[in-house]
Chains A and B, each alone.
Chain A
Amino acid sequence: MAISKKNVITMKRSYSCSMSGVWNAVAHNQGALVIYHSPQACGHVTHTMELGSHYRSLGRMEMNGKQYNAPLITSNLKEEHSIFGGTEQLRNCIDYVAKMYKPEYIVIANSCVAGVIGDDVKSVAAAAQEMWNIPMLSVDSEGFFSDYYTGYYQAGLTLIERFMSKQEKKKNTVTLLGDRGGPLGSDVQEIKELLVIFGLTVHCQFPGYASLEEIQKVPSSSLCVLLGGRAKSHMGIHTLAADLSIKFDIPFFDAPCPIGYQQTKDWLKRMGQFLGKEKEALVAISQQEEKLQHAIDSYSSKLKKQKVVLCIGRPLLYFQPEWALELLRLAKVNVMGIILLKGLTEDQQQEMRMELEKYTTVSIRREEENKELEKEEIAVTTHELSDSIRRQFFLPVIPPVGVGGMIGLLCKLARLAGRSKERGGIVYG
């Protein structure tokens, strides 16, 4: 019997759209307005994504009632524009929104369609800026050429270029670079708690969740801390940090967001060295260890010696297994094996196998080998699996930050372990 529940798609290319990255970069920046130079439906797709975030934050009680939501307007490219060009349509759209919404600045994102037509969006934006005296920022974001992260960081670089200038540094102030669910999200809260240990206070989060005034003051920060993950998102955020460093002499702490205990420990140690506050770092590490140990003790009765199989269907570029293996080690479960799901290509499987072998000696097999899971085994998985696998723990696409994040995962895994084998079902980590 197949393990995969769905016909798992092999991701040959990026599966995201860079326009939505542009949107997310400024969606909650007071005074911003976003234009998609695209068909109307592209706006609807982004809005659907935004709506999901709204309800997720409501569900996690992380909703900020006062959060600004930038108007999102589409230039409404239609079939006729593919023949005659869409620049006139864009010009009219800008004129309308400039009058109607009076934004502090406008960010224009290009769609695949605009890219194929070959509209000169930059020229339209430059002329409109002259006419309306409103900053117009054009970001290349055709979906075929890039992905979500590219759009997000490209928008950030454009904001830096346009709005920032050298300023005197304010001691012990930090700008957080990246999203991670925004200022009220548990990830950002976790990072802020770690920064407090070193006497640092957060000036703002950039590029999202910052007013124009806050953006303009970013160069006065004495440090930038990266909120990105690994691989692709880290590369983008690193570029952003490097740009700020070159232009405004803001040093940045060159480490991705710490996931799990080991990374948190390393992160704190390196931060201590970076700031010359090694003692504080050691205290912080021991606090984190204590916090984690307390959680392990309270969940161990449910988790110890549970049989677990790790199922991986995401390529290495989007899933680094180190943190998942640490979770299983901390949970003290018996990892019976690792299964590489069908959605991975031969190359992706090989790459993942090599990465896994750095951290574990557990046997690795392919889904095609068709060995069924035992009833008592819990599948810890990157994909929803067949209903015949009774208990499944879904590994989040973006793993939560720090020891706090790891404790949250342990707690959920323990709840699943306590669930009757007959009932089964999925717990989303």
Chain B
Amino acid sequence: MDKQAWDNVHTQFNSCALTGAAAFFAGIPDAAVVVNGPLWCYFYALRYIERACPTIGDRFYCTQPDNNAVIYGTEDCLMEILEAIREKSKPSVLCIENSCAISLIGDDVAGIARQANLPCPVVSLDSGGIKGSFSEGYQAGAKEYFSKIPLQSRGEARPRTVNLLGCTLGYYNAVNDIEEIKRLLALAGYQVLACPGAGSTTEEIAAMTKAELNIVIHEELGGGIAQYLQKEYGMPYLSLLPPYGMEGSMKWLRTIGQIMWMSDASFSPVQREIDELSKKMDGAILDMQRIWGDLWFDQTLIAAPSSTALGIAEALRLEWIDTGFLTVILQNGILSNAAPACIDKILNGQGDSLAIDSQLAGLAGGLLLGSSNEKALMQQKAVPNVLCQNIALPVYDEIILSTRPFMGIRGACHMNERLWNQYISRCQQGG
């Protein structure tokens, strides 16, 4: 047996497949979700999602099965909720997801839903923690959606149109990042037709087959969906690390451009914006550098879902700061994309708890880009003078109200601003 299967949960952050599947459907504004499971599992998923989607409670239901239901089946409690939905709300699609224990009973959920005679298609799946974590649930939910609800036939693709796959409101600051990606693409002359699981309606998703290309933003969420859509609808796809940093964003756009036969001229507006912002940013940073010295860290630790962690690691080391040693923790434990060469060490967030503990303990004076989870572990260990920036959930110690992304050109400015201001603040505190 793999010894790493029994790690201390304290070093890990993840959520269950039930939350992941619910997050996919929560990202479809005209969809509703029924959790066929206990309130505890329901509330956990609800709280996770409603941080980014505050009104999700209006279309998120729970069957609350009791002991008898676990023995005799959940038909009665499920029917009660389905009848209420039929009477009171009119979703375009309904997802019924079974929690761990309910998935073991073997109820014919699809059959029960047919009896309820709902006026919308129903997608049902087992999605408890026994099925895996957030990313597995998200992918399972998406695959069930695409397999149950046919899209329009592909026909001829509309030129310069793309879809974004693998985006979710269940990632930190995702709303701002998705907006920035759409803005960048628009600046380069593309139109985004759909972003399933992160804002697109069922109608928009149905028409997504008209796009020239599917772009996978987070491979751990969208990779499988892209393959499915290629197989079923012949839609080509491109999976890259998300666009972080000025150069990183330009590289990302150019790679998409190469696939879509875009001329260099189409990048001019983006390049112009980069040039203008770089000039402003370089001047401001140099001013601070003369006073406060270089943004240097002996040790840097990044912890986030795989694609986010790898993408930020590349931008961080190639564009934003200097560091002696760069370690990346893949929160979800899976290496989504090829690892950039600039990373010195990669740790599995779901399996390397002792190594993670020791990395955190040795981070004094260093830089942590992660979540409130890693920060709490450092606080408990009293590791001094670590400069911390949140880039991943869970976050308990920061609010972002302005439209400031982490990705793209504006994201690069924002990240530089955050890093420098924190660094200066630490210097003033004598750190």
A residues neighboring B (CB under 8 Å): 6-7, 9, 11-17, 38-48, 50-52, 54-55, 58, 63, 65, 67, 69, 71-79, 82, 92-93, 96-97, 100, 111-113, 115-117, 143-145
A73 touches B101 (CB 8 A): no
A292 to chain B, nearest CB (A): 33
Contact of A97 among B6, B101, B129 (CB under 8 A): B6
Max count, chain A CB within 10 A of own CB: residue among B7, B16, B58, B131? B7
A41 touches B17 (CB 8 A): yes
B16 touches A144 (CB 8 A): no
B6 touches A75 (CB 8 A): yes
User: Which residues of B from 7 to 49 have beta carbons under 8 Å from A?
Assistant: 7-10, 12-18, 38-44
Contact of B350 among A6, A11, A40, A145 (CB under 8 A): A40
Compute how far the CA of A61 lies from the CA of B88 in the bound complex, rounded to whole angstroms. Answer: 46
A44 touches B40 (CB 8 A): no
B residues neighboring A (CB under 8 Å): 1, 3, 5-10, 12-18, 38-44, 57-58, 60, 62, 64-67, 70, 99-101, 104-105, 128-131, 133, 350, 372-373, 376, 379-380, 382, 394, 396-397
A–B pairs, 25, beta carbons within 8 Å: A13-B39, A15-B38, A15-B40, A17-B38, A39-B128, A41-B14, A41-B129, A41-B133, A42-B129, A44-B9, A45-B15, A46-B9, A47-B10, A47-B12, A48-B44, A48-B394, A73-B6, A73-B8, A76-B6, A79-B130, A93-B5, A111-B101, A115-B101, A144-B65, A145-B67
B8 touches A72 (CB 8 A): yes
Chain A contacts for B39, CB-based, 8 A:
9, 11, 13-16
B104 touches A144 (CB 8 A): no
Compute how far the CA of A6 lies from the CA of B55 in the bound complex, rounded to whole angstroms. Answer: 7
Chain B contacts for A48, CB-based, 8 A:
13, 15, 44, 394
B40 touches A55 (CB 8 A): no
A116 touches B104 (CB 8 A): yes
A41 touches B58 (CB 8 A): no
B67 touches A113 (CB 8 A): no
Chain A contacts for B40, CB-based, 8 A:
15-17, 45, 143
Given A11-B39, A44-B14, A55-B372: A113 touches B64 (CB 8 Å cut-off): no
A7 touches B57 (CB 8 A): yes
Chain A contacts for B396, CB-based, 8 A:
51-52, 55
A65 touches B9 (CB 8 A): no
Given A46-B9, A47-B13: A12 touches B70 (CB 8 Å cut-off): no
Contact of A39 among B10, B57, B130, B397 (CB under 8 A): B130
Compute how far the CA of A51 lies from the CA of B15 in the bound complex, rounded to whole angstroms. Answer: 14
Q: Besides the contacts A51-B373, A71-B10, A79-B131, what 4 more A-B pairs have beta carbons closer than 8 Å?
A: A12-B66, A15-B39, A41-B129, A97-B6
Compute how far the CA of A38 lies from the CA of B42 in the bound complex, rounded to whole angstroms. Answer: 17
A13 touches B14 (CB 8 A): no
Chain B contacts for A97, CB-based, 8 A:
6
Please give me the residue from chain B that is nearest to A99 by CB atom: B3
Max count, chain B CB within 10 A of own CB: residue among A11, A41, A51? A41
Max count, chain B CB within 10 A of own CB: residue among A17, A45, A116? A45
Compute how far the CA of A200 lies from the CA of B268 in the bound complex, rounded to whole angstroms. Answer: 78
Compute how far the CA of A111 lies from the CA of B70 in the bound complex, rounded to whole angstroms. Answer: 13
Please give me the residue from chain A that is nearest to B69 by CB atom: A144
Compute how far the CA of A97 lies from the CA of B57 in the bound complex, rounded to whole angstroms. Answer: 39
Given A17-B38, A65-B380: A144 touches B13 (CB 8 Å cut-off): no
Please give me the residue from chain A that is nearest to B45 by CB atom: A45
Chain A contacts for B350, CB-based, 8 A:
40
Compute how far the CA of A95 lies from the CA of B79 in the bound complex, rounded to whole angstroms. Answer: 44
B129 touches A51 (CB 8 A): no
Compute how far the CA of A100 lies from the CA of B58 in the bound complex, rounded to whole angstroms. Answer: 46
Chain A contacts for B38, CB-based, 8 A:
13, 15, 17, 112, 143-144
Max count, chain A CB within 10 A of own CB: residue among B10, B13, B129? B129
Compute how far the CA of A55 lies from the CA of B396 in the bound complex, rounded to whole angstroms. Answer: 7
B393 to chain A, nearest CB (A): 10
B64 to chain A, nearest CB (A): 5
A45 touches B64 (CB 8 A): no
B372 touches A51 (CB 8 A): yes
Please give me the residue from chain A that is nearest to B17 by CB atom: A41
Given A39-B100, A54-B376: A82 touches B10 (CB 8 Å cut-off): no
Chain A contacts for B70, CB-based, 8 A:
112, 116, 144
A112 touches B133 (CB 8 A): no
B97 to chain A, nearest CB (A): 13
Chain B contacts for A40, CB-based, 8 A:
9, 14, 129, 133, 350
B130 touches A44 (CB 8 A): no
Compute how far the CA of A48 lies from the CA of B19 in the bound complex, rounded to whole angstroms. Answer: 13
Chain B contacts for A77, CB-based, 8 A:
130
B241 to chain A, nearest CB (A): 25
Given A75-B6, A76-B6: A9 touches B67 (CB 8 Å cut-off): no
A65 touches B382 (CB 8 A): yes
Please give me the residue from chain A that is nearest to B4 by CB atom: A96
Compute how far the CA of A65 lies from the CA of B57 in the bound complex, rounded to whole angstroms. Answer: 37
Chain A contacts for B1, CB-based, 8 A:
92, 96
B58 touches A82 (CB 8 A): no
Chain A contacts for B67, CB-based, 8 A:
144-145
Compute how far the CA of A50 lies from the CA of B379 in the bound complex, rounded to whole angstroms. Answer: 14
A12 touches B64 (CB 8 A): yes
Please give me the residue from chain B that is nearest to A15 by CB atom: B39
A39 to chain B, nearest CB (A): 4
Contact of A113 among B12, B43, B130, B397 (CB under 8 A): B130
Chain B contacts for A39, CB-based, 8 A:
16, 100, 128-130
Compute how far the CA of A69 lies from the CA of B133 in the bound complex, rounded to whole angstroms. Answer: 24
A55 touches B104 (CB 8 A): no
